[in-house]
């Protein structure tokens, strides 16, 4: 109820069953799979890789459970609620298995990784348990499971990026697509299970990323979102990749990364310094490595008609080089998701976030200095271990300062095995967590409303994504700042994928309403 729908973890898409736009002759397929996805965009993107692997094995997709020979659930472990939802769903599948004993049921993703073989013991109906780095082994595991053996592969990899697999776009609007550029996370935020379920950071080779984005553009797509747990730490060492003894796919990051509570301010704005005193370093392509800023530039150059977004960033890694690259290209959307988590220095330290509130605020200032009008959103956690009322007030104050256009807000959910679980007591009573979360939600609603009101009268370039949810007489699109805008279809020549100038006339808290100018 308190988890607000958003692009990173879109509540409206949770449990979505996929149907691909199938162009291939259905007759060559002899079995059908059904896949449901939960959690972040990365999981939805992974399901498209899984679909591609299964298509090659002669499986076609169905969105009807009763037609399926194989049911897969791509799961999320980030909060307890996400796991409970999946467990409930698995008990529903149990009934189908009783009716059709040849049916195979598989659990994929973070929950598979976290619970490993425990899953097979606890949820007796599950035939397959496959972690996020082991999808290539699915065909072999299915053969084993057909023979009555339980199939499990939860090995994490330091190299797997699925770079060579062309995802099968599922439930696509044909205009916007996710492109995975790196996997895993080396940050050890104390509340977070992701480093344990998705393993170490590794970056996908830039050539395969550019090819995937170019192919999408040529197929009519007009927006790509570059995806990763921490996209700003994208780092690809081409020299190492071409050395004969080094595997070609996915490189383990070798750049120094922040750990513990060390603060680095190599790109923190200094007082009195203007954005233009600090131009972006020239892309250092000669040195054989590609940073996230360089990758952004390469994708931006595919076509000015292709919009680029990225998700998600860690505030410590979003450098001036990234900000200047964003400012340089019109087609790189002016929107940054900058997770805050807490506005209290004491809590940030316990969370192992490696920045202070002052550092975070100076990052917000820097974004606004280099890109006035850039949209900013945040993730916020209420009620982390030992959080006092004063800590909570500090979070509200940073929110007020940052004027987020929107936020993704959660109350703390202790996850087994995390640093916080091992070190601290989950000591904030649930009603206090929920009350604080409600105060955060209320403030965000006010900020979103204010942000939308400031857009009244302004004209934005909008990429049309399709019909509005409420009426096929209206288009729905997004501004560069990622705001949804709805407007009447007054010009007949427009289609999804067209860019159009729209003036904002009205707004609600969540949506802008406008007209074509
Ligand atoms: N409890 C609550 N929220 C969490 N998040 C990650 N782990 C937890 C947890 N244990 C939130 C963070 C993160 C977002 C993806 O999910 O805000 O940025
Ligand atoms: Fe989790 Fe922190 Fe990594 Fe985000 S940056 S995935 S919150 S450990």
pLDDT: which is higher, 247 or 515:
515
457: left (phi over 0), alpha (psi -120 to 50) or beta: left
Q: Is 379 in the pocket of ligand 1 (CB under 6 A)?
A: yes
- Residue 78 CA to ligand 1 center (angstroms) comes to 6
- Cβ atoms of 64 and 34 within 8 Å: the answer is yes
Poorest-confidence range of 6-15, 225-234, 382-391, 396-405?
Answer: 6-15
Atom 12 in ligand 1: which residue has the minimum CA distance? 379
pLDDT 10s digits, 341-383: 999 999 999 999 999 999 999 999 999 999 999 999 999 999 9
Q: How far apart are CA 304 and CA 285, in angstroms?
A: 22
Ligand 1 probe mutation, 410, 414, 440, most atoms within 8 A of CB: 410
Distance 70 CA to ligand 2 centre (A): 32
Ligand nearest to the CA of 342: 1
Upstream peptide bond of 312 is cis (omega within 30 degrees of 0) = yes
Question: What would the two tokens of residue 224 be?
Answer: 């790509």
Q: Given ligand 1 and candidates 8, 43, 79, which is best to mutate, with the most ligand atoms within 8 Å of its CB?
A: 79
Q: Whose CA is nearest to atom 7 of ligand 1?
A: 192
| pLDDT of amino acid 286 | 53
For position 265, what pLDDT does the model report? 32
Q: Does residue 415 line the site of ligand 1, with CB under 6 A? A: yes
- Smallest-distance ligand from the CA of 190: 2
Mean pLDDT value across residues 237-241:
76
CA of 339 to the centre of ligand 1 (A): 10
Å from CA of 466 to ligand 1 middle: 31
Cβ atoms of 134 and 154 within 8 Å: the answer is yes
* Ligand 1 atom closest to residue 415's alpha carbon, by position in its atom list: 10
Q: How far is the CA of 7 from the centre of ligand 2 (A)?
A: 17
Asked if residues 237 and 209 have their Cβ atoms less than 8 Å apart, the reply is no
Nearest ligand to the C-alpha atom of residue 232: 2
Ligand closest to the CA atom of residue 228: 2
The Å distance, Cα 191 to ligand 1 centre, comes to: 7
Nearest 10 degrees: Cα torsion 329, 334, 339, 345: 90
Q: What is the pLDDT of residue 228?
A: 96
Give the CA radius of gyration of the chain: 23
Residue bearing the CA closest to ligand 2, atom 4: 229
pLDDT of residue 12: 62
Mutation test residue for ligand 2: of 192, 415, 419, the one with most atoms within 8 Å of CB: 192
CA quadruple 41, 45, 48, 54: dihedral, nearest 10: -100
Query: 108-157, pLDDT tens digit by residue?
Result: 999 999 998 888 887 677 999 999 999 999 999 999 999 988 889 999 99
- Ligand 2 mutation target, pool 190, 197, 202, 230, most atoms within 8 A of CB: 230
Contact between 103 and 96 (Cβ < 8 Å): yes
Residue 274 pLDDT greater than 50, yes or no: no
Q: Mean pLDDT over residues 421-444, rounded?
A: 98
Please indicate whether residue 339, judged by its CB atom, sits closer than 6 Å to ligand 1.
Answer: yes
193 Cα to the center of ligand 2, angstroms: 8
Q: Which residues line ligand 2 (CB under 6 A)?
A: 185, 187, 189, 192, 194-195, 229-230, 314
Asked if the model's pLDDT at residue 486 lies above 50, the reply is: yes
Task: Give me the percent of the chain exceeding a pLDDT of 70.
Answer: 85
pTM (two decimals) = 0.88
Helix (H, G, I), strand (E, B) or coil at 59: strand
């Amino acid at each position: 109820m308190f988890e607000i729908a958003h692009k990173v973890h879109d509540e409206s898409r949770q449990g979505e069953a996929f149907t691909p736009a199938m162009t291939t002759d259905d007759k060559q397929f002899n079995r059908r799979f059904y896949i449901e996805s939960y959690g972040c965009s990365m999981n939805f993107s992974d399901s498209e890789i899984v679909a591609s692997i299964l298509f090659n094995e002669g499986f076609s997709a169905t969105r009807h459970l009763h037609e399926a020979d194989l049911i897969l659930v791509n799961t999320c472990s980030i909060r307890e609620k996400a796991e409970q939802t999946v467990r409930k769903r698995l008990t529903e599948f149990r009934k189908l298995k009783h009716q059709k004993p040849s049916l195979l049921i598989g659990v994929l993703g973070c929950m598979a990784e976290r619970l490993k073989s425990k899953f097979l013991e606890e949820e007796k109906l599950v035939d397959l348990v496959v972690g996020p780095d082991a999808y290539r082994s699915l065909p072999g595991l299915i053969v084993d499971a057909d023979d009555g053996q339980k199939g499990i592969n939860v090995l994490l990899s330091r190299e797997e990026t699925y770079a060579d697999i062309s995802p099968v776009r599922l439930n696509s609007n044909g205009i916007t697509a996710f492109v995975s550029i790196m996997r895993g996370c080396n940050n050890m935020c104390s509340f977070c299970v992701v480093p344990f379920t998705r393993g170490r950071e590794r970056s996908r080779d830039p050539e395969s990323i550019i090819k995937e984005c170019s192919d999408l553009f040529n197929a009519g797509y007009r927006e790509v979102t570059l995806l990763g747990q921490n996209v700003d730490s994208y780092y690809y060492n081409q020299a190492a990749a071409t050395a004969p003894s080094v595997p070609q796919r996915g490189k383990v990051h070798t750049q120094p990364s922040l750990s513990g509570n060390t603060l680095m301010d190599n790109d923190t704005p200094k007082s009195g310094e203007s954005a233009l005193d600090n131009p972006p370093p020239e892309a250092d392509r000669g040195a054989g490595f590609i940073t996230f800023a360089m990758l952004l530039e390469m994708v931006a150059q595919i076509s000015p008609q292709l919009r680029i977004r990225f998700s998600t960033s860690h505030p410590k890694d979003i450098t001036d080089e990234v900000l200047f690259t964003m400012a340089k290209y019109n087609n790189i959307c002016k929107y940054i998701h900058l997770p805050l988590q807490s506005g209290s220095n004491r809590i940030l330290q316990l969370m192992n976030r490696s920045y202070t509130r002052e550092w975070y605020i100076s990052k917000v200032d820097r974004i606004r200095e280099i890109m006035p009008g850039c949209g900013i959103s945040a993730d916020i956690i209420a009620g982390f271990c030992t959080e006092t009322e004063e800590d909570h007030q500090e979070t509200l104050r940073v929110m007020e300062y940052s004027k987020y256009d929107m936020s993704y807000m959660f109350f703390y959910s202790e996850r087994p095995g995390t640093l916080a679980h091992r070190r601290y007591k989950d000591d904030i009573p649930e009603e206090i967590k929920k009350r604080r979360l409600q105060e955060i939600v209320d403030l965000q609603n006010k900020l979103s409303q204010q942000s939308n009101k400031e857009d009244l009268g302004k004209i934005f370039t909008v990429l049309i994504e399709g019909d509005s949810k409420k009426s096929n007489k209206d288009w729905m699109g997004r501004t560069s700042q990622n705001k949804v805008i709805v407007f009447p279809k007054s010009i007949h020549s427009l289609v999804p994928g067209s860019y159009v100038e729209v003036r904002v006339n009205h707004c609600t808290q969540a949506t802008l309403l406008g007209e074509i100018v």
